Structure formats: structure tokens, C-alpha cells
Amino acid sequence: MTTITATVHPVDERLPTPRLAALGFQHVLVMYAGAIAVPLIVGRALKLSPSEVALLISADLFCCGIVTLIQSFGVTQWFGIRMPVMMGVTFAAVGPMLAIAASTPGLDGARTLFGSIIASGIIGILIAPLASRMLRYFPPVVTGTIITVIGATLMRVGIGWAMGGPPFLAKIADPVFLQAVADAKAAGTAIPAGPAPMIANPSYAALDNLAIAIFVLAVIMLIAKFGRGFVANISVLLGIVVGGVVAAALGKMSFAKVAAAPWFDVVVPFHFGMPLFDPALILTMVLVMIVSFIESTGMFLALSDLTDRKLTPQNLTAGLRTDGLGTVIGGIFNTFPYTSFSQNVGLVGVTGVKSRFVCVAAGIILIVLGMIPKMASLVESLPLFVLGGAGLVMFGMVAATGIRILAAVDFKGNRNNLYIVAVAISAGMIPMAAPDWAQHMPHALHPLLESGILLTTVCAVLLNLFFNGARGTVEEAVQAAMQAEGGH
């Protein structure tokens, strides 16, 4: 009598709980630096209080966990690609969100932002089945250009962190003059003629702070060169940890907010109030969703090759639909649009463990971390210059990824590709070089016009249609998306 034993695919293998927890924690560490970056950037752009920025970090980790669970474990036939996928906030959304924050800061800006995210996520769920048809509009010349500008936009943030803040903080009103004005008012005498002279801000680009930023950068480079496997994959996170320890030892980091934060708290929906919906901003975030779909498609196909599991059109649609659902969940719980994290795809290759239940375990860990406010407050308390050293690497790698994709584009046989890249990148630089360029245009269009990423996306897609038509193959677009490791 012959006994037939069913073979479990490595993706569906259930490992012992201790090993699942250890491998899941590895995935969390690999994605952690990228996961906390976006809440820090957007929260401070919205001019939220430190406690509110910490809440954004907690909410982001919490939602990362929920969406990772849905994507890797699966919920009905409609949601979840059921592969080892870690979900995190897409860097493609940062530029548009910064534009929204600049036009409407504060709580109203947060409510408007989250309303746009929720609506774009719903639209993303509806258009997910059409994503494969959109791939032809995103050949390597378009994808590479967009990711390069995403990196350039983020590098401005990283450099600002290293300096200790945005460029407008470089000069401050002369404290001596301000004190003279205050003394004159108190004495009832003539107030010195203004305006107040501007002097160099001693805390902006302070040499000791810059030295720590450079030290963090050096630590990351050393780990990247001499570290192996998993250690090399978390070089950015280790650099931040070492930089934080040095800053604390030098008395440049306060733990008062960490001490005041509770150990446990539940992330609640609509913390900032009911969302506001603006049609122009919704359109802006829908464009981000489409770019996110292209990124995710590449990651899913890379995982399919890595795990030897065939990716059917139905699986792909379920995975992209989960991107949309994750974005809706993110907006409800006060956080941002989600996509698959490419660093974790690389970790699957490094460890050789293909089980999706490792990512299920990682999702549970992230949910728990999202309910520990002290962790979020600790991250929020990190000095900007510590984050700056890491940001130069993290965001610069995004731009480098775009350049790598463009390196495979045929510029010699098709010189029109040069025009596509030249004009699209130039359009993306406009908001950085001339921040007020749209001041005479309708205010409703500012979030679109002030986002270099969206300007580049629109220009690259339209110019590619003009010069090359829609003749790009799905295979070319997929290959470009699969190269986009680090471009989330």
C-alpha cells in the first residue's frame, strides 16, 4: 500500500513559533527606519506637536502591521497576495503630502490629508483590476525618472535634518535687538527702529551637530561594507541607534517626552477629527496610488521568482487591491498610503525562508509596537541631525535606484528618451528651485503644482506618449519595477 504525502509549498510552510518570532523580528528591524521616516517628515511639515508626531509614528506601525497581516495571510479571495510581503508607507506619497501640508498646515491640513488618502484608497480598490493595463504607460524611462525625482525630493528633507531644520531657520532675528525692543517697551521709551537685523542661527548647521550626522553616515557606510547578510540590511537602523546613543551621551537628546508617554495605548481612528475631502487633492493622491501600484507589481513579481510561486492575474489584483485597502485603513487611523517594502523582499533572498507566516508574525509584532507610545516618543525625541545622517543614505538610495533603472534605457537608439528624462526631471525640480512658482494659480491646484514628484509623473507619462506612444511592453515595465528596490 502506497502512502501519499501532500507537499506543502515553502510559502505556506508553518515554522515553529520561536523561529517565526525571530525571523519576523528581523523583518521588522529591516523596515523600521523606512517606516518611521514618513510620519516624522509629514508630521513636522504639518506643524503638529511632538506628542501628535509620536501618535503618527504609533499609528503608522500599527497600520503597517494590520496591512501586512492582510497581505501575507489573506482575507477572502479579494484581499491579500498570500506571499511573504511587508507593507509600509510609500515614499512616492511624501512630496504630494508635503505640498498639502504646506498649503494647509495644522489639524485642518491633517484632516484634509487623511480625507484625500481615504478617497484615493477606495478608488485604488476599484481600479486595481486595471493596473496591468496601465503598466504599458510606465516603461523604464518613465519609472526611472519618477523614482529619481522621488529620491531628489527626499534628499532635500535628509539634508534639512542634517542641518537641524529647513533652510529658513538658517537666519534668526538678532536677540540683542529684540531685547532692546522689549526693554524700551517696558521703560516706555522710544522703540529702536526696525526691522530687526537677521543673524546666523547658532543651532543651524552647528559644527558639533554636523559632526554627529557625519558620524552616523560613517557608521552606516562601515556596516554596509563590513557587515554581512542581515546586519548589512539593517545598517541604517544601526546607524540611527549608534547616533542616538552618542547624542544622548553628549547631552543633546532629552528623554522627558519618553518618560511622560504611557507604556500602552490604543490607536483610535480619526484622532484629528472627521476627514475633509477635496477633489483636487483626491486626484493628486490617486496619481500616487497608480505609481504605488507600479512599484508593488515589481515587488510581487520579484517575490514570485524568489519563492517559485506562480503569480496569477487574480493574485496580482488581490495584492494591489490590498494596497488600496491599506491606504483606506491608513487614512482612517491617521496615517498614510501603503505599498510593499522592497528591503524585505531582499531579506527573503538573504535568509532563504519563504514562509509568508514569517511576515504574519512580523505584522503582529508591528501591531504591538504601535500600541507602545514610549517607543514612538523615543523615535520622535531623536535629534534631527542624527536622522539626517541616516536620511542622506536612505533617501539617496532611492535616487540611486532611479538612476540604475535609467541606465538600462536606450538613449542611443532613441534620442527622444533624452528629452523625456530632461524635461520631466526639470519639471520636478521647479518646486524645489522656485517654491512660490504657483502663487498666481488657483489655490486648489497648489498641492499638485507644488509636488515635484507629481509634476515629473505627469510630464514623463505624457512625453513618453508623445514621443514613443503606448508601445511600451508590459515586460519592460515589470522589469523596471522589479529593479526598484529601495524606491518605495
Q: What is the pLDDT of residues 163-182, one digit of tens each?
A: 887 777 778 887 887 788 88
User: Looking at residue 408, what is its pLDDT?
Assistant: 87
Can you give the residue range of the structural domain that contains 195? 172-202
> 184 and 134, same structural domain?
no
Residues 394, 397, 402, 403: what is their CA dihedral angle, to the nearest 10 degrees?
150
Check: CB of residue 452 under 8 Å from CB of residue 434. no
Pairing of strands 338-340, 87-89: antiparallel
> 76 and 91, same structural domain?
yes
The tens digit of pLDDT for each residue in 412-459 reads 899 999 999 999 999 999 998 888 888 888 877 777 788 888 899 899
Residues 21, 27, 31, 36: what is their CA dihedral angle, to the nearest 10 degrees?
0
User: Looking at residue 299, what is its pLDDT?
Assistant: 80
> 185 and 268, same structural domain?
no
Residue 452 lies in a domain: yes
Residue whose C-alpha cell reads 542634517 in the numeric block: 162
Mutual orientation of helices 416-433 and 452-468 as an angle, nearest 10°?
160
Max CA-CA distance within the chain? 109
> What are the strands, taking DSSP E only, across 215-362?
338-340
> 57 and 97, same structural domain?
yes
User: Looking at residue 345, what is its pLDDT?
Assistant: 73
Residue 2 lies in a domain: no
User: Looking at residue 261, what is its pLDDT?
Assistant: 81
For the chain, the distance separating the N- and C-terminal CA atoms, rounded to the nearest angstrom, is 53
Q: What's the angle, vertex CA 104, arms to CA 102 and CA 106, rounded to 5?
A: 100
Residue 51 lies in a domain: yes
Cell of 393: 543614505
Lowest mean pLDDT among 51-60, 200-209, 218-227: 200-209
Q: How far apart are CA 429 and CA 417, in angstroms?
A: 18
User: Looking at residue 5, what is its pLDDT?
Assistant: 44
Q: Position 375: which residue type?
A: M
Which are the contacts of 21, defined by CB distance < 8 A and separation ≥ 6? 361, 365
3-state SS, residue 171: strand
Which domain-ending residue is among 153, 184, 202?
202
- pLDDT at 2 > cutoff 50: no
Percent of the chain with pLDDT over 70: 94
> 198 and 90, same structural domain?
no
Which domain-ending residue is among 181, 202, 223?
202
Highest mean pLDDT among 169-178, 225-234, 329-338: 329-338
> 349 and 303, same structural domain?
yes
User: Looking at residue 242, what is its pLDDT?
Assistant: 93
> 144 and 96, same structural domain?
yes
Q: How far apart are CA 343 and CA 349, in angstroms?
A: 10
- pLDDT at 1 > cutoff 50: no
> 182 and 157, same structural domain?
no
User: Looking at residue 352, what is its pLDDT?
Assistant: 75
Residue 5 lies in a domain: no
Cell of 442: 488657483
Q: How far apart are CA 15 and CA 23, in angstroms?
A: 10
CB atoms < 10 A from the CB of 252, how many?
A: 16
Residue 4 lies in a domain: no
> 265 and 161, same structural domain?
yes
Which are the contacts of 389, defined by CB distance < 8 A and separation ≥ 6? 162, 212, 213, 214, 215, 216, 217, 219, 220, 239, 243
Burial 335-371 (b: 16+ CB within 10 A, else e): bbbbbbbbbbbbbbeebebbbbbbbbbbbbbbbebbb
Positive or negative CA dihedral for 62, 298, 471, 143? positive
Residue whose C-alpha cell reads 528623554 in the numeric block: 255
2-9 mean pLDDT: 60
Check: CB of residue 149 under 8 Å from CB of residue 428. yes
461-478 mean pLDDT: 77
**For residue 90, which of 279, 318, 335, 425 has the smallest C-alpha distance?**
335
Residue 1 lies in a domain: no
Lowest mean pLDDT among 94-98, 111-115, 231-235, 329-333: 231-235
Identify the band that residue 202 occupies on the pLDDT scale cut at 50, 70 and 90: confident
The tens digit of pLDDT for each residue in 290-317 reads 888 888 887 887 788 778 888 888 888 9
203-211 mean pLDDT: 88
User: Looking at residue 3, what is its pLDDT?
Assistant: 45
353-361 mean pLDDT: 89
> 182 and 249, same structural domain?
no
3-state SS, residue 273: coil
Q: How many independent structural domains does the chain possess?
A: 2
> 391 and 352, same structural domain?
yes
Identify the band that residue 357 occupies on the pLDDT scale cut at 50, 70 and 90: very high
Lowest mean pLDDT among 22-36, 72-86, 350-364, 470-484: 470-484
3-state SS, residue 170: helix
> 87 and 26, same structural domain?
yes
Q: What is the mean pLDDT of the chain?
A: 85
72-83 mean pLDDT: 90
The residue among 480 and 336 whose pLDDT is bigger is 336
Residue 106 lies in a domain: yes
Check: CB of residue 85 under 8 Å from CB of residue 319. yes
Residue 488 lies in a domain: no
